[in-house]
Structure 1
Amino acid sequence: MAKDSGSGLPPGVETAWGLRERPGKGPRPGLSVARIVDAAIDLANAEGLSAVSMSRVASALGVSTMSLYRYVSSKDELLVLMEDTAYGLPPEGPAPEEEGWRTALAHWARAQRDVLYRNLWILRIPISTPPITPNSVAWMERGLVCLRDTGLDEGEKTQVILLVSGFVRNEATLAADLDAATRASGRSMEDVMASYTRLLAELTDPQRFPAVTAVLRAGVMDRPDGPDDEFVFGLERLLDGIEVLVRSRNASGR
């Protein structure tokens, strides 16, 4: 079994930072934490997070379930390691000193979105702690670096990256939920939206719902946005608001 370092940190966090003593070579010298985590990620991407269990991962690796516990103490630890591994290190992206904080922060946000879209199961893991694993701290560092020369204080920088990452996660969750619903129904998103528009038109009237009626008559819902349009619109509006804050701080000499 992996030995507790006595740090008081959750086992998954200890393992991610290399603070837990790993077992020596056993009957399966090819088995490792990395192989176990990679197998679990493959399973989650193929069948969803609910399919991940110690027994299923062991089966995928061709080993006994008990042998996994020599490397990973529990499913909770495994989930922490899966998420940290799936995120990986953030891409460097454009230098804020050269391209500006807005371009750098937008790249950071899109990179997070790319990770989530490749690993939608991450969205099913409840958020139980602030960023504490190595890669999550690296993402936080990169986000803060994007804001280094904005004139915002450290608390404001932290709130900005929480705001932006929260938007990214919410957008990805909505997209994942809609995708799952349409797949379950066997219909395309276009068919679902067309049915919704027709039903909405039947249920509403101009007297009670004048604003909704105006949207329907404008044909907005008949022209679905592209997959990135809503994300780009929302991100740009967030950045607009942050830019107002940055300008006000610089104008006040803070």
Structure 2
Amino acid sequence: MASDAPLPRALEILWRDETSTRKAGGLSRERIVAAAIDLADRDGLGALSMARLAERLGCGTMSLYRHVANKDELLTFMLSAVPAPPPAFTDAADWRGALTDWALGLWEVYHRHPWILHTAASGPPLDPGQLAWLDAGLATLGGTRLAERVKLTAVTAILHYVRGAAALAIEASGVDSPVYPELLRKLLDPRRFPALAAALDAGVLDGGDEFVAEFHSGLRLLLDGIAAQMRSAEPGHRA
């Protein structure tokens, strides 16, 4: 059932593709959003405030509110603007290669803009930028026999995997805080957490190239699962 509730103002603006009117000094919504992304990329989401953004742009804080209603609205604009267009694919038969490129593209987005991982992710995407990625992910499976619901389940599983793996890799290798594996080695009692202790002893959480290798390994497992689902959907398949 369609809702009669009005869209939030930020979504209305984004879906109208409205270009904000430039004011004195060249201030515009686009310029504000670009500066906010730069600030969050450099100093993290916690450093982003309307006052600091105004200082960076050389304007008064109240000038920002002529273009952006509040910080929540600013974040909506940032999340829609920050990802580059998703990778294009031309071979509809190579769903695995296309979905791998899509996942790697997301991995790169999260590493270029780690603050995305600290934004609320409780609801589904509604802005054009994020929906373009979801649409592209589903399109990689367009030439398969999978049902639409299964396609969405598969793409969502990979999306959450990439997001979680990127968060672990970025946080574990952070230079401003103790490295994650080092903290675990101080905290873990192998008798209480034997499986995690075994993984730690094997060095799978030590970061660097290991995290990249583990990411690719986990992605292959997910893709193998999708491939198995495809085989079960083929006519005449027997379990």
Partner of 1:17: 15
Picking from 109, 120, 125, the partner of 2:114 is: 120
Picking from 158, 162, 178, the partner of 2:156 is: 162
Deviation at 1:215, TM superposition (A): 6.6
SS at match of 1:221: coil
Give the whole-Å Cα distance in 2 for the aligned partners of 1:161 and 1:223: 25
**Which moved further from structure 2: 36-45 or 122-131?**
122-131
Deviation at 1:183, TM superposition (A): 2.7
Partner of 1:3: none
Identity %: 38
Residues 12 and 76 in structure 1, CA contact (< 8 A), matched pair in contact too: no
Give the whole-Å Cα distance in 1 for the aligned partners of 2:123 and 2:185: 40
Deviations 1:98-135 (A, max 9, x none): 5x111110110110110011000000000243121111
Picking from 199, 211, 221, the partner of 1:227 is: 211
Give the whole-Å Cα distance in 2 for the aligned partners of 1:227 and 1:220: 13
1:177 equivalent to 2:171? Answer: yes
Give the whole-Å Cα distance in 1 for the aligned partners of 2:197 and 2:159: 34
Letter in 1 for 2:217: F
Picking from 30, 39, 42, the partner of 1:43 is: 39
Q: How has the CA–CA distance of structure 1 residues 25 and 145 changed in structure 2, closer, same or farther, with 3 Å as cutoff?
A: closer
Deviations 1:43-72 (A, max 9, x none): 101110011111111110001111111111
RMSD: 2.9
Letter in 1 for 2:202: V
Q: How has the CA–CA distance of structure 1 residues 222 and 145 changed in structure 2, closer, same or farther, with 3 Å as cutoff?
A: closer
Give the whole-Å Cα distance in 2 for the aligned partners of 1:80 and 1:232: 30
Give the whole-Å Cα distance in 2 for the aligned partners of 1:54 and 1:213: 44
Q: How has the CA–CA distance of structure 1 residues 212 and 170 changed in structure 2, closer, same or farther, with 3 Å as cutoff?
A: closer
Q: TM-score, normalised by structure 1?
A: 0.80
SS at match of 2:234: helix
Give the whole-Å Cα distance in 2 for the aligned partners of 1:159 and 1:223: 28
Matches within 5 A, 1:33-72: 33-72=29-68
Deviation at 1:95, TM superposition (A): 2.6
Deviation at 1:150, TM superposition (A): 1.3
Picking from 133, 136, 154, the partner of 2:130 is: 136
Deviation at 1:15, TM superposition (A): 2.3
Give the whole-Å Cα distance in 2 for the aligned partners of 1:137 and 1:111: 15
Picking from 26, 31, 36, the partner of 2:27 is: 31
Q: TM-score, normalised by structure 2?
A: 0.84
Letter in 2 for 1:110: L
Unaligned runs of 5+ in 2: none
Deviations 1:163-205 (A, max 9, x none): 110100111111222133x5323xxx5xx747855886xx547
Unaligned runs of 5+ in 1: 1-5
| Alignment size in residue pairs | 232
Q: How has the CA–CA distance of structure 1 residues 47 and 150 changed in structure 2, closer, same or farther, with 3 Å as cutoff?
A: same
Q: How has the CA–CA distance of structure 1 residues 252 and 66 changed in structure 2, closer, same or farther, with 3 Å as cutoff?
A: farther
Give the whole-Å Cα distance in 2 for the aligned partners of 1:18 and 1:250: 42
Deviation at 1:18, TM superposition (A): 2.9
Of structures 1 and 2, the larger Rg is shown by: 1
Q: How has the CA–CA distance of structure 1 residues 197 and 58 changed in structure 2, closer, same or farther, with 3 Å as cutoff?
A: closer
Give the whole-Å Cα distance in 2 for the aligned partners of 1:89 and 1:213: 40
Q: How has the CA–CA distance of structure 1 residues 7 and 38 changed in structure 2, closer, same or farther, with 3 Å as cutoff?
A: farther
